[in-house]
Amino acid sequence: MLYEGQVIHEGLEAHVVEEYLFYGGNIPDKNTRVNITDYADQRVEAGMKYVSQFSSGWKDYLGPDLSKYPDGEEQKLMDQISSRILVEDGKSYERFRYYKGAPDGLGHSKRD
């Protein structure tokens, strides 16, 4: 994170990001896979921490403890997070949309 004037005071050079990996978006747009086989369980556990993003906590946040949510909410969240992982030939993959160039026009199509 930069503070006002940091670029000048520290003699930093401007930098343009030319390549991006986007996590969200439409499944058909995801054109890059990363093998997460060794970390798939950790990936699901980490995703389960985002109660306010991927569960009924979006509308009615009751805190990070899933036991405070309606019955079945924890399993529903686990299923949702797990479904985002592609399993193929016994290997687990996280999918991203790789994009090169200026990110103009992003976010204009309806998401899955």
How do residues 19-46 score in pLDDT, each as one tens digit? 889 988 888 889 999 999 999 999 999 9
Cα gap 44→42, rounded to integer Å: 5
DSSP state, 20? E
CA dihedral 35, 37, 39, 44 (to 10 degrees): 100
Specify the pLDDT at position 72: 93
Q: Strand 32-35 vs strand 91-100: parallel, antiparallel, or unpaired?
A: antiparallel
pLDDT tens digits along 59-110: 999 998 999 999 999 999 999 999 999 999 999 999 999 988 876 655 555 5
Counting Cα atoms < 13 Å in the Cβ hemisphere of 7 gives: 5
Counting Cα atoms < 13 Å in the Cβ hemisphere of 42 gives: 4
pTM above 0.85, yes or no: no
Q: How many CB atoms lie within 10 A of CB 45?
A: 12
